[in-house]
């Protein structure tokens, strides 16, 4: 194939293979350069990018490849742009599922679940057949939690703990809203939690959040804002971006993907929680077998759900609301993958 279609360099032995689906789209375009610059895996880890998209997007994907070439990035040891599942999934170390069927006007949620169930059933089977069994998987395309559940269900040979869905964008949005409220730098705001689904039922929780050495709650001194406007602003932020830009979040989503994978692979800062939607083991009374966002810490390439946090009556209600939605999504989606 022409060089603008595929580039594979020499000296790949130490490189990791990273699959990005929907790679020609907005988020993919923002993401590939961040990975190739070393933001996800560090400044000494070479990468080979497997870029998957649908056949009609191949010309646009060729343009992305040309730009990657033109960046002259030393860590980029290869690019495999393709619409072929076998080529895309073979021997990958990491899979980032960005591509999904978007919700269209007049489409019911069940219709969206059905459309995506077919996509993620097929891609889960490809993951099972061609990827390394140690592959780490992040699902971004919505409904992300349930798409991750379908993917894991259809890739039975890969451990369930290797699957996750993106709630780091919500986590970052929540931290940012706190920082703006307190007029402080974002680096001072830590251990905010996103519970549940990446949807309007998600629960941004400041109960264990800190600002410097002070708790978020004592710093803000406004429980009405914390339990009202703050929660709604995070839940509805994606819609607000679409209303303003006429396009969904792209750069911030790509940044959150990098944050999620970097922490999963390299570890979280000591004493700090981040939010990941992962396979529930029953922690906090959440039904096992859902993909649910929990507070986690990461070390040695593995995440651990933070245990023993006290959950208030207000928080318990919020956790249950988002759990109920995920249960309904799971029931509907699994009907479509039988």
pLDDT digits (tens, 9 = 90+) for 206-223: 999 999 999 999 999 999
Of the candidates 52, 61, 100, the residue with the CA atom closest to the CA atom of residue 198: 100
Amino acid 230: pLDDT: 98
Q: How confident is the model at residue 3 (pLDDT cuts 50, 70, 90)?
A: very low
Amino acid 11: pLDDT: 46
Contact 99, 73 (CB under 8 A): no
CB hemisphere CA count around 161 (13 angstroms): 10
pLDDT at 76 over 50: yes
Amino acid 1: pLDDT: 41
Amino acid 13: pLDDT: 52
Q: Average pLDDT for residues 141-159, to the nearest whole number?
A: 97
pLDDT digit string, tens, across residues 28-60: 999 999 999 999 999 999 999 999 999 999 999
pLDDT digit string, tens, across residues 254-291: 999 999 999 999 999 999 999 999 999 999 999 999 99
| Alpha carbon distance 148, 161 (integer Å) | 11
Amino acid 103: pLDDT: 73
Catalytic annotation on 50?
no
Q: Average pLDDT for residues 96-123, to the nearest whole number?
A: 86
Cα separation values, 76 from 8, 70, 193, 260, 288, Å: 9, 11, 34, 20, 39
Contact 232, 200 (CB under 8 A): no
| DSSP conformation letters of 206-253 | -TT-EETTEEHHHHH--HHHHHTHHHHHHHTHHHHHHHHHSS---HHH
Q: Which residue has the tokens 């970052």?
A: 172
| Alpha carbon distance 140, 96 (integer Å) | 7
Contact 201, 173 (CB under 8 A): no
Higher pLDDT, 2 or 28: 28
Per annotation, catalytic residue among 50, 171, 198, 260? 198
Contact 81, 64 (CB under 8 A): yes
């Amino acid at each position: 194939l022409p060089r603008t279609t595929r580039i594979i360099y020499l000296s790949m032995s130490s490189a990791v293979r990273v699959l990005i689906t929907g790679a020609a789209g907005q988020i993919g375009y923002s993401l590939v350069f961040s990975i190739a610059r070393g933001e996800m895996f560090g400044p000494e880890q070479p990468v080979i990018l497997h870029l998957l998209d649908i056949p009609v997007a191949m010309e646009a994907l060729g343009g992305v490849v040309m730009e990657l070439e033109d960046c002259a990035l030393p860590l980029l040891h290869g690019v495999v742009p393709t619409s072929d599942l076998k080529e895309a999934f073979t021997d990958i170390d990491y899979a980032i599922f960005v591509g999904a069927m978007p919700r269209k006007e007049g489409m019911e949620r069940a219709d969206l679940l059905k459309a995506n169930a077919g996509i993620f059933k097929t891609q889960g089977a490809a993951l099972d057949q061609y990827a390394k069994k140690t592959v780490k998987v992040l699902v971004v395309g919505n409904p992300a939690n349930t798409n991750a559940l379908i993917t894991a269900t259809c890739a039975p040979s890969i451990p369930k703990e290797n699957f996750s869905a993106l709630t780091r964008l919500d986590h970052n949005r929540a931290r940012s809203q706190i920082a703006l409220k307190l007029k402080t730098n974002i680096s001072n705001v830590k251990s905010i939690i996103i519970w549940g689904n990446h949807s309007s039922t998600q629960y941004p929780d400041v109960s264990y959040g800190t600002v410097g050495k002070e708790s978020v709650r004592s710093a803000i001194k406004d429980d009405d804002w914390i339990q009202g406007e703050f929660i709604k602003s995070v839940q509805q932020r994606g819609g607000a971006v679409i209303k303003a830009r006429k396009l969904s979040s792209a750069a911030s989503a790509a940044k959150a993907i990098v944050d999620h994978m970097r922490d999963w692979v390299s570890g979280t800062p000591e004493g700090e929680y981040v939010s990941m939607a992962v396979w529930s083991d029953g922690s906090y009374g959440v039904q096992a077998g859902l993909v649910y966002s929990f507070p986690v810490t990461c070390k040695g390439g593995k995440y651990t759900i933070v245990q023993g946090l006290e959950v208030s009556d207000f928080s318990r209600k919020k956790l249950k609301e988002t759990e109920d939605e995920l249960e309904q999504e799971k029931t509907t989606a699994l009907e479509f993958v039988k």
